[in-house]
Structure formats: C-alpha cells, structure tokens
Chain A
Amino acid sequence: MSVDKQTVEQLAELARIAISEETIDEVGKRLGNVLQLVDQLQSVHTEGVAPMAHPLDEVQALRPDEVTEPDRREEFLQLAPQSEQGLYLVPKVID
C-alpha cells in the first residue's frame, strides 16, 4: 500500500515541507507503511473502552492566575533572524 502522489503533495503543503519530485514515491511508500500500522491498530476491538487522552493516568494541576513572567523581550529578539521596533520580522504573509 502506497499513498498517492497528490495526497503526499497536499500533506507536504499542510506541513510546509518541501518534497522533491524524485522522493515523492519513496515518501508515499513510507507513509503507506505507517498507515498499515494504523490499520492494524484500528482492527483492535475497542468497544466500551473510553478513548485515552493521555498515557499518564493523572489529572492536570492548575496554576493560580498570577503574572509571574518578566519582560525578556530583548533576549528573545536576539534569537530571531530579523526584528524591528520590537517586532519579529517574517516574510510577508497576507490572506
């Protein structure tokens, strides 16, 4: 079982990954293998079993509503390739 070319291209677009033309077949095959594994899992009888939200059988702890984080903008901006007027700059995006 292999995932077809069109689906691979669509997945690549959703994941913002560039996949070269010559690797599409190979990626499709590998994804197919993953799906086969998922199919195997799907065949397990799960009626009456609640879907698991987390592997740990624990409940989330909550934190009080307090401001605890200082302003570290200058440090964080240093990590970005480009910034200006306190803003992170990215290639232009418009819907």
Chain B
Amino acid sequence: MEWEVVIGLEVHVQLATQSKLFSGASTQFGAAPNTQACAIDLAMPGTLPVPNEEAFRFAVMFGLAMNAEIGRRSVFERKNYFYPDLPKGYQTTQLAEPIVGPGEIEIHLEDGSSKKVRLHHAHLEEDAGKSLHEDFHGMSGIDLNRAGTPLIEIVSEPDLRSAAEAVAYLKKLHSIVTYLGISDGDMSQGSMRCDANVSVRLKGEQELGTRTEIKNVNSFRFVERAIKVEAERQIDLLEDGGTVIQETRLYDSDKNETRSMRSKEVANDYRYFPCPDLLPVELSADYIEKLRGELPELPDAKSARFASDYGLSAYDADQLTQERATADYFETVAKSSAEPKLAANWVMGELAALLNREELSIGQSPVTAGQLAGLIARIKDNTISSKIAKQVFEAMANGEGDADTVIEQRGLKQVSDTGAIEKMIDEVIANSAKQVENYRNADEAKRPKMMGYFVGQVMKASKGQANPQMINEILKAKLDALL
C-alpha cells in the first residue's frame, strides 16, 4: 500500500513590537519574571485594552508579502479556556474576521522543484505567560512577562505532502518575516513556533484521513522529525487495522516519538464571542496601499535579481537569499570586489563553514564583507593563489586584520618573479636526477602526468607562494630542453 502524508501547519510568529498588543508593557526578552506584566496583562478589574498600531502594520505587511487579501475590517474575539498563565481566562484573538485572508506562497524544494502552498488566513492574537513546574514545593510558578505579546498565527491549507515540504514552507515563512523585519525569527527564544496537523491516506484517495495535532514544535529539525515519526505511527496503526483518534500530541525529541497530550480530551469548546472591550478595527485602502509601496525586496524577487544581475545559478541565488543578512553580505562583497561568482563561492563555502563551526550568525561574522571583498581582489590580481587565500581568510577570522595586512605580515605574496621561480626549478631539477631520467625515458603521452612531481617540489620550495601557471610554463620548457 502506498500512503500519502497530508500536513497543514499553524505557525505562531512573535511580532517585533516594543510594547504589547493591548498594553504599554515592554516585550523585551529575558527580563526578570513579571517585571513586564502590567495591570492590563494581569487582567486587573477596570482595565481596558487598546490595540497597538504597529502590530497591525506588521500583520498587513505580512499579508501583502503573501499576496493575501487584507481584512480592511477585523474583529477581536475571546477564546475562553482556563490555564494559570492566562490571567483573563480567555485569549484575545481573531476568528471570523481576521486581519489577513487567503493567500499563497511558493516554496522551493531541495530537488530544485517549486510548489505553491495556500494560506487559509493569518490572524492577530496575544501570547500567554509561562508556567514553571520545578522547585516550588509542589506548586507552579507563573511568569506573565510574555502575556499579551503580539503574535500572528499563520494557518496553511493542508497542501504539504512531506516533512521536507513542511520544513521548506517554514523556512520560507521565516525568510519572509525576517526580510520584512516584523519578527526576529529567533526560534530558540520562541519567536516562531509551530503546530502541525498530520494525517495519512492511501495515495489517490480524495478524502482526508483523521488528523492529529502536534503541539509547539520549535525548531526546523524537530518539525521534520516529529512529522515523520507521527506519519509512521499513523500508517503502522492503520496497516494493523486500527484507527487514528483525533487528538493533540506532544513531540518528545529525546525519545523521537509523539504521545497523547490529554487523556480526557474534553471536547475543546472555546466558546468564542466578539470581545466587548474592543471595537472593530478598520484600515483604509490608502493605508494598505501605502504599506504595499513600502515593502522591501522579498526573497524570491531578490533571488531572481541575483541570478540575472550576477550570473548566479538559480540554486546559488536561492541559497544566498534565504536570509536577508546573508543576501546583504553577499551583495556588498560582490559589488566591491566586482567578482560576484567568487563572492558567491566564498560566502557559501569558507564563510558558511566558519560561521557553522563557530556557531555564529552572519551578523556576528568575524570577517566583514569589506574584508572578504579585499581578499577576493588579491586573488583576482594574482597577488595570492586561491590556496593561500584560504590561509589568509583563517587569519582574518582570527582577527589578524584585513587581507593586505595578513599577506604583508605573513609574507604570503605570490612569487611571480621569473628569475626566482627559475632558480627554484633549477634546484629541484638538480636534486631529482632519478625523476629527470625517468621523465626523459618516458612516453611523450605520459610526460604531462610526470610533471606533477616537479610542480609539487617547486611549490613546496616556495611554500605554496609561487605562481602555479608560471611554474608550469617554465618547468615544461626546462625539462623539454633536457630531452
């Protein structure tokens, strides 16, 4: 039997506002517990929420980037449930009239293909606080700093067909929200969290299978694993004649399994109703059009431009534009070195390897874009070979200054002086009587291969600094003269 996995994602993105969605309390991450939870966030009697205009601006920008319909009129509703990190006893959210309506984005898969994924809608809502369950003599500690922080919840249609597609979709959303600057996208701080609705069905079947919801997965890698392991569980269950129960499940990354979250799933009844404290929000068409005009260049457009302006392959252009900071870095290097292809190779090669090894973001790179451009200029004008350039790069990464300083201080300048190279070659030939003899006696067809030994010796004598092209030319002339 061939099974098909069907996935829809609900992604919560924390908006990068200074203050909360309905109060003037700070949203800064990492403050001491409850120092950023004001009377409104605590649901003190007599308080009245007032929505943050920046949260609306960000939500509209997101909708425009998703080619979605924008809700000119949006309404807040109360979603009622009891949990100690939700002081009001309801979450203020949107349901029937969300700020962002249906839209669509294109995702890029590793095999080079693309796919359109439909957006069901996206709405504005407030985050809850945090419960801490350890070390309070059998009680739970509540930190409400996060309560009221603005989120957009982005709901996709069930258009994704594999864990890999789900990850590609998430990466695309991450890319878009960080390009727009509406979220820092920092998953380790919970700025982007994901619930995955997963079901399976026999290939060719039209109707959807019963789905389960995996809650709160907060890294790309875990989303991929959680979906894979949950799909496998459902397939095993169905192949053994069982049935999938619609329920909420939790992914345990240590055991790499999902498990049921609530034993007695009291049919969730959130009893939504329009929030009497908040009037409908109306946005003018002019306002929306003004924001449309202010949108920055988005990843797809940037990728297409990089491919055409800099002659990059579609794959390279795509890789370089996933993160705005990487794209900006590349573009600075490409422009100031006027060598876009070398720039692309260095950014995706040595630089990416360095950042990966040191676990740094590109914004924290020890080698600046200007320094890398300087290095590339020295490769281009033959001051150094690409092999030596790697040494110079490492030195720059260690804070030894820019390329010219490192080349000067370490004496790495490529030797292109004919006399010096000839001298080294003469010495090598003089010390390699046996190899010279072999060369002379060898077939003409085999000689080019045998040259490798001599080139290697000369390179060694020059500590890698001799111009390789010149070695080849002079060496061949000298050896052939001995025939």
Contacts and interface: CB of A to CB of B under 8 A. Distances in A.
Interface of A: 10, 13-14, 16, 51, 53-54, 56, 58-69, 71-73, 76-77, 82, 84-95
Contacts of A82: 139
Nearest to A13: B266
B50 A61 contact: yes
Name the prevailing secondary structure of the B interface residues: loop
Contact of B139 (A65, A72, A76, A91): A91
B18 A66 contact: yes
Given A14-B266, A76-B37, A65 B32 contact: no
A6 to B, nearest CB: 12
B53 A88 contact: no
Given A67-B24, A72-B38, A93-B83, A87 B52 contact: no
B143 A92 contact: no
A79 to B, nearest CB: 9
Given A14-B269, A54-B279, A82-B139, A93 B131 contact: yes
Nearest to B80: A14
Interface string B34-50: 11111110100000001
Given A10-B266, A14-B271, A86-B32, A59 B140 contact: no
Contacts of B279: 53-54, 56, 58-60
A60 B82 CA distance: 27
B56 A62 contact: yes
Contacts of A95: 250, 261-262
B51 A60 contact: yes
Contacts of A59: 279-282
Cβ-closest 10 pairs across A and B: A68-B24, A87-B141, A65-B54, A62-B53, A69-B38, A60-B279, A86-B33, A88-B142, A69-B25, A90-B84
Contact of B35 (A54, A58, A71, A92): A71
B399 to A, nearest CB: 37
Contacts of A91: 139-140
A67 B18 contact: yes
25 contacts: A58-B279, A59-B279, A59-B281, A60-B51, A60-B280, A61-B50, A63-B53, A65-B18, A66-B19, A67-B26, A69-B39, A71-B36, A73-B32, A77-B34, A82-B139, A84-B136, A86-B32, A86-B34, A86-B143, A87-B136, A88-B84, A93-B84, A93-B131, A93-B140, A95-B250
Contact of A69 (B23, B261, B269, B276): B23
A64 B33 contact: no
B144 interface: yes
Contacts of B40: 69
Contacts of B271: 14
A89 B33 CA distance: 12
Contact of B24 (A14, A60, A63): A63
Given A59-B279, A60-B281, A87 B51 contact: no
Given A69-B38, A86-B33, A87-B33, A60 B278 contact: yes
